């Protein structure tokens, strides 16, 4: 199938990613100035959510409406996907009716299998492996506040999860150094680490990872689907809380990001989202703008009149 997909940051070139971030900033400005921009009139995005979501659902749905199109929310509970219709069959049928499909799922192979059978672009709205749309928003937020991230040092603290894997891909694509501090046994996926080579260093000490860093980020200790491990993780990850004292070790102009939802008192201290170094609310808003840029890039413009 010839459609262009966005399952990972590696599906775009570094130049395309930089252009997407810039475009996200332009689309944000258009919206702030109240300018109507509807290149996706009559276009329809299907959104399959196998896991919960607030930001991803809202930003894609609002984004499609703002671009002149529509979005349809689909869950396995109410579709034949929940009753065992093969993913490939669902992809063939859905992609004959829709102009793009966003999927939030467990196994990353669900996305690759859907994409292999889809005529239209497929977007990864989070899998157990990756969360590339969140990285578009994170990179836009840093760019807005501090300019290019090229050559900077980024610290990822906590679980080597889907967000961490996407930070590894971002380190390669946006050209920055990444330090990951995690407990033993919770390292990011070896496949991503091997690709990144010496661009990424894994260590145990959050203090060493944060020292002099320009961007610090973390995420929940228990991701969706890992609920049975929550108690054990809560104990193990205690030394990995990001708080004001830890950020004091970073560069003076450090930016703190959290993809949200956050668990105050666990991976971040109670007050951290209110710390002047945190840009988590801008980051959340930027999901909207960055994904509008992605939709504009992937989805064909409006039909001709008959």
Which of these is catalytic: 66, 134, 140, 241? Answer: 134
Q: Which is nearer to ligand NVA, 22 or 263 (CB)?
A: 263
Residue 220 binding: pick among ligand NVA, ligand CP, none (C-beta 5-8 Å cut-off by kind)? ligand NVA
Task: Pick the piece of the chain touching ligand CP (CB under 6 A) from 54-62, 92-100, 202-210, 228-236.
Answer: 54-62
Residue 30 binding: pick among ligand CP, ligand NVA, none (C-beta 5-8 Å cut-off by kind)? none
- Residues 298 and 67: their CA atoms lie apart, in Å, by 13
Phi-psi region of 214 (alpha: psi -120 to 50; beta: other; left: phi over 0): alpha
Task: Pick the piece of the chain touching ligand CP (CB under 6 A) from 17-25, 49-57, 110-118, 189-197.
Answer: 49-57
Site residues (CB under 6 A) for ligand CP, limited to 133-152: 134
We find the least distance from the C-beta atom of residue 215 to ligand NVA, in angstroms, to be 17
Nearest residue to ligand CP on Cβ basis: 56
CB crowding 189-198: b at 16 or more within 10 Å, else e? beebbeebee
Q: Which is nearer to ligand CP, 56 or 66 (CB)?
A: 56
Whole-Å CA distances, 127 to 93, 104, 189: 22, 6, 13
Q: Is 287 a catalytic residue?
A: yes
* 8 Å CB contact between 168 and 196: yes
Residue 54 binding: pick among ligand NVA, ligand CP, none (C-beta 5-8 Å cut-off by kind)? ligand CP
- Residues 73 and 129: their CA atoms lie apart, in Å, by 22
- Establish if 259 lies at the interface with ligand CP (CB under 6 A): yes
Q: Is 11 a catalytic residue?
A: no
Residues tagged active-site? 104, 131, 134, 219, 259, 287
């Amino acid at each position: 199938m010839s459609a262009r997909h966005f399952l990972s940051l590696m599906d775009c070139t570094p130049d395309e990613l930089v252009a997407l971030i810039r475009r996200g900033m332009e689309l944000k400005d258009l919206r702030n100035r109240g300018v109507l921009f509807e290149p996706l009139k009559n276009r329809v995005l299907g959104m399959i959510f196998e896991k919960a979501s607030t930001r991803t659902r809202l930003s894609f749905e609002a984004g499609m409406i703002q671009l002149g199109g529509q979005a349809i929310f689909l869950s396995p509970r109410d579709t034949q996907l929940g009753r065992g219709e093969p993913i490939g069959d669902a992809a063939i049928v859905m992609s004959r009716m829709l102009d793009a499909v966003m999927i939030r799922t467990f196994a990353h192979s669900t996305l690759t299998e859907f994409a292999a059978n889809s005529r239209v672009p497929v977007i990864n709205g989070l899998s157990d492996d990756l969360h590339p749309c969140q990285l578009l928003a994170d990179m836009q937020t840093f760019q807005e506040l501090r300019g290019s991230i090229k050559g900077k040092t980024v610290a990822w603290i906590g679980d080597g999860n889907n967000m961490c894997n996407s930070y590894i891909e971002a380190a390669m694509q946006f050209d920055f150094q990444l330090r990951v501090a995690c407990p033993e046994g919770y390292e990011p996926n070896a496949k991503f680490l091997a690709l990144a080579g010496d661009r990424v260093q894994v260590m145990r000490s959050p203090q060493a990872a944060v020292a002099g860093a320009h961007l610090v980020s973390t995420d929940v200790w228990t991701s969706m689907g890992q609920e049975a491990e929550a108690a054990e993780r809560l104990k193990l990850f205690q030394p990995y809380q990001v708080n004001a004292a830890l950020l004091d070790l970073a560069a003076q102009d450090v930016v703190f990001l959290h993809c949200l939802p956050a668990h105050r008192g666990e991976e971040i201290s109670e007050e951290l989202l209110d710390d002047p170094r945190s840009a988590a609310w801008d980051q959340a808003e930027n999901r909207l703008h960055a994904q509008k840029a992605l939709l504009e890039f992937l989805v064909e413009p409006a039909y001709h009149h008959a």
